[in-house]
Amino acid sequence: MADKNEVMKESLKHNGFFSYRDLYNFCYAWLKNEGYKLSEDEYLEKVAGSSKEVKIKWKASKKVTDYYKNVIEIKWHILGLTDVEAQENGKIIKTQKGEVKIVFEATLERDYEDNWDKRPFWKMMRAVYDKYIMRTTQDEFERKLMEKTIAYIEEVKAFLNLEGRS
């Protein structure tokens, strides 16, 4: 079974104007451009009057080596999503308003194909391999994953601040 090391977990909140479709597409495109395979494990929409509640769970994974894989889980929760009209540069545009919370959890998976767990001897050797041989490599992969995830979060924040200025 693959071992997982949680590298970081962070969330962002935004309350105000934003284009839901544009935010969704921006987040999706960023992951695809970085080479991640993306699965949408959950998409729930509840309509209450003129507003919606939306819950989304994504799992993005990217093979780093034959032994290591980056995984970023993204959980969206949007409350009070309503269609509104706003003024931008003297023009009236259609957008949305609501509260969005996105949780990002980055994990480095080791032996994700379970090659080392097939025999007891190899399982013991994997512990030695991880602890003494690959320790600095693993630290480097964790650092890079953390930096990339932080960059992603910062870009999403910047996108929301730009979109939210209606």
Residue 63 phi, psi (nearest 5): -70, 125
Q: Nearest 5°: CA angle at 158, between 107 and 8?
A: 15
Tens place of pLDDT per residue across the chain (166 aa): 567 889 999 999 999 989 999 999 999 999 999 999 999 999 999 998 889 999 999 999 999 988 889 999 999 999 999 988 877 778 888 889 999 999 999 999 987 776 666 677 666 666 666 676 667 788 899 999 999 999 999 999 999 886 544 3
- Tokens at 55, concatenated: 């819950």
Tokens linked to 59: 């799992």
Q: Which two tokens stand for residue 123?
A: 């399982």
Cα-Cα-Cα-Cα torsion 13, 18, 22, 26, nearest 10 degrees, comes to -30
Q: Where are the alpha helices (DSSP H) in 46-166?
A: 120-128, 135-163
